[in-house]
Amino acid sequence: MVIVFCTFGLVFSGPPLVHAEDEGTDESGSRELATTQQPENVANAEEILASEETADAGVEEEAGSTADTEEAPVVENDQELEAQPAPAESLEIGPENVSESVAEPNAKLAPPTDIVAISGTKEVKGQAEATNDRNRQLRAYVYAKDPKSEPNQIPLGESTAGKGNGKFTVKLQEPLASGQVLYIVLKQENKKGSKWIPDGVESDPISVSVSLSLADQYDAGLNVPQGPFLHEDQATRSDEEISEIFEAFKTSNPAIAGYMKAINLYNVSQEQLSAEIIYNDNSKGTTKPINIKLITERSAEALVDKLLVTGNIVAGTLQTEDGQQVTPGTKVKVVTRIDADDRENFEPGARCNVVKSQATYADVDAESGRFSVDVGYETLKLNWPGSSEGEIGIIVKEPKKLPTCKVIVPEGPLPEKTPVRDPKKLTKDDKKRIDPNIRQAYTTVTGISKMPDGTGDWEDTPALIDFNADGDARIANPSNSVGDWDQNWAFVPKQDEDGRYELKNPEQVKSIAAKDLVTNIKPRSPKITVDYDSSTVTITPPAYTDPGDDTDLASYRVLYDGKTITLTRPADSAAPNTSTRSVAAGAFLKMVVPFVLARTEPSGSTGSWSSSEGSVDSSTGTVTLQIKDLSVGATITAIATDRGGLVEEETPLDSDPVSVTLETATVSYDANGGSGTMPSTKMNKGLTYTILDNGFEAPENKEFDHWEIDGKTVAAGSEIP
């Protein structure tokens, strides 16, 4: 035997009902706090607050919404309906016809518990029995009168209940008054198709008395802090400014400070705000005037230390306008990624605030003004022309002062300088030795490369480095170069005969000046050759014409017998670094007599040399000295001098001095038994000597016949080598 129960709804006339969905599925995530004073049948508000903080949020309907169930058809005559026989097939029970839960006769629901109704609010909260039955739900109804005595009254509001954690919130149209009595009833509904139909099962109504809110209890006697409070802006408030006013209210009202939950501030004028205290039961007090004063003094300026892209520490010093220490509590915010929407906030006169950017706070020593923060080696990026990538924002905020801010960019590091012979004329070999130094400089101590190495289609292609005619290096991303991929899919950039890459956008590069890449090394020494057969001494400068030679040779000096001959190679008027070097007297000899041989061609060319004294080869700069013009055993010294480096402190360098001392010979006379003396003569090797007449007195009974050297007869007046 199958019995089918039909449940009919009643149609009421009057204003629309107020509904609210079960708090257990509240998507708004709102949380309300209950009063600490509870009437009979009202749960302790603090306990409910604690349970709500750990429960899932529910979905609440707005006040004034309509019920989610449709009206049941109005039946004019129940007897007529009962008299109509139903088709046999209609008596078959299926899930499309009835709920999974069939109401039992005289069944009742458990009444709601933990009711919270506070004066001044427009809601009633409570706890219903939780159910996960998809085809059954509960609805909570709030009435002004007992529904048993007045069953046809319109509820003040209603809400689904029992879903999720069973908590519900019924929204009302009017605020509750202290002492007002409410009646709450739970009613059960079953789902038929897409409709929810009441099945007549409900709880006994329970009555609650609206408790007095904390705002009604304490707000009228609230002490308002006088101020004025210093604020940066009239229209908006920082968290610190809001907190300061809220704490001032607590300090001014210590007895009820624990009942205060939050504060709302509203703009009134440049000198005044209105403050609204929110209490622990979510009741709100009346607004009260608060005096404010706008700040005009600015925070200290950040002087940032040199920041390399390969580093990890952002540091600097805070400098105040009056030179005094910064205010304790000063904060420095380092923005490591400036969002495009925040970039304009760093412009002059802007507010220096960020919303979407990545930032971290630096440690600040108020006494010294120093600040620093470790941002990590991976954080800093190269900045490219026309791009904000790599920009770092620095925001300084002193208490009760307007913030200051600036944007800095990390610098590219400078490599260890490569020693070269001519800093103004780099060779291919020089450039090959400079390249790895640059790449090493752009690598962090943790091994992270900050070079613009290729990615994507240019994966595994290192950053490109080339040099211009002045020796300045240029660093480019491979994707910026013209080129093609070989059969192994390796990118091959296009280069000219000088090794310069063809770039799509020549401005998108990083440049390093030659002066920061190379250091000058001293030139090679000149060469001194003594030819005793020809009785000459030849001095030649170090090689200077070909790449790898001392192409920056400026001069060389020849010193002998108290004299100095200086041969110079002045550069033309276009050369950036020309100089003539004088040699101080007494550096190697007692007296300096300079003779200048001049040449007008630029460094590296093969022009003519000239000299005011001595023999010189006009093409090679070779100086030839005659041994006969040199003192006996003379020492000839030669020193080369270059043009110096590319920076002022790199002055011209001298080569190691090279010296040659002439070999000598001594001619003496032997009396061979005779008596008397004749002078001996010391002379340079390579010269001729004239034999003197005899000056000895011959032994008794003998006379002078001839001179003999090594067994050979030599006549007086003859010359010997």
pLDDT of residue 114: 93
* Residue 594 φ/ψ, nearest 5 degrees: -80, 140
C-alpha distances out from residue 283 to 169, 279, 438, 707, Å: 16, 5, 67, 141
Q: Name the residue among 538, 559, 536 with its Cα closest to residue 686.
A: 536
Cα 150 to Cα 596: distance, rounded to the nearest angstrom: 129
CA distances 187 to 157, 458, 591, Å, are: 13, 70, 124
- What DSSP string describes 510-539? EEE-GGGTEEE-PPPPPEEEEETTTTEEEE
Strands 370-374 and 313-319: antiparallel
From its phi and psi, is residue 376 left (phi > 0), alpha (psi between -120 and 50) or beta? left
Cβ within 8 Å of residue 390, ≥6 positions away: 309, 380, 381, 382, 383, 384, 409, 410
β strands within 36-95, DSSP E:
none
Separation CA 222–CA 74 (nearest Å)? 56
Which tokens sit at 109? 């629901």
As a whole number of angstroms, the longest Cα–Cα distance in the chain is 194
Given this model, what pLDDT does residue 238 score? 86
- Angle at CA 348, nearest 5°, toward 346 and 354? 20
In the block, which residue shows the tokens 């058809």?
A: 73
Q: Flag whether the pTM goes above 0.75.
A: no
CA distance 59 to 22: 6
Return the pLDDT at 584: 29
Going by C-alpha positions, the residue among 276, 41, 275, 282 that lies closest to residue 175 is 282
Cα gap 97→265, rounded to integer Å? 56
Of 564, 656, 544, nearest to 604 (Cα)? 544
For the chain, residues with pLDDT lower than 70 are 1-106, 571-607, 612, 614
The confidence score (pLDDT) of residue 573 equals 34
> Which of 216, 207, 143 lies closest to 178 in space, CA to CA?
216
What does CATH list as the number for 19-212? 2.60.40.10
- DSSP state, residue 257: G
Question: Phi-psi region for residue 341, left (φ > 0), alpha (ψ -120 to 50) or beta?
Answer: alpha
Tokens of 32: 């309300």
Judge if 301-408 and 418-519 fold alike in CATH terms.
no
Residue 197: its pLDDT value, please? 93
Cα separation, 579 vs 652, in Å, equals 9
Alpha-carbon span 165 to 84, nearest angstrom: 44
Q: With respect to CATH, is domain 301-408 assigned 1.10.155? A: no
Q: DSSP letter string over 614-646?
A: SEE-TTT--EEEEGGGSPTT-EEEEEEEE---S
Contact 190, 196 (CB under 8 A): yes
Residue tagged 């007296």 (tokens): 591
pLDDT at 103: 53
Are 104 and 176 in contact by the 8 Å Cβ rule? The answer is: no
Q: In angstroms, rounded to a whole number, what is the distance separating the alpha carbons of residues 223 and 255?
A: 11
Give the pLDDT confidence of 230-262 residue by residue, as tens digits. Answer: 998 878 888 889 999 999 999 999 999 999 999
Within 8 A by CB and 6+ apart from 440, the residues are 415, 416
Helical H runs in 557-615?
none
pLDDT at 62: 35
Enter the DSSP assignment of 384.
-
Query: Do the beta carbons of residue 621 and residue 597 sit within 8 Å?
Result: yes
Task: State how far the Cα of 635 lies from the Cα of 659, in Å rounded to an integer.
Answer: 7
The runs of H, that is alpha helices, within 177-334 are 214-218, 239-252
Helices (H) and strands (E) in the chain, counts: 5, 43
* Beta-bridge partners for 392: 408
> Hey, what are 389's tokens?
């990538």
| CATH entry, 215-294, from 3.90.320, 1.10.3210, 3.10.20, 3.60.21 | 3.10.20
Please give the CATH topology (third level) of the domain spanning 418-519: Ubiquitin-like (UB roll) (3.10.20)
List the domain boundaries for the chain. Answer: 19-212, 215-294, 301-408, 418-519, 522-661, 664-721
List the one residue out of 339, 387, 335, 380 whose CA is nearest residue 361: 335
**Neighbouring residues of 623: CB distance < 8 A, sequence distance ≥ 6:** 538, 539, 540, 558, 565, 567, 597, 611, 614, 615, 616
Question: Mind listing the pLDDT tens digit for each residue in 452-468?
Answer: 999 999 988 999 999 99
3-state SS, residue 88: helix
Other CB atoms within 10 A of residue 704 CB: 14
For residue 295, give the DSSP letter: -
Which strand (E) or helix (H) includes residue 395?
Answer: strand 392-397
Task: Report which secondary-structure segment, H or E, holds 53.
Answer: helix 45-54
The answer to whether residues 714 and 698 touch, using CB atoms and an 8 Å cutoff, is: no
Beta bridge partners of 475: 465, 510
- For 192, the 3-state DSSP assignment is strand
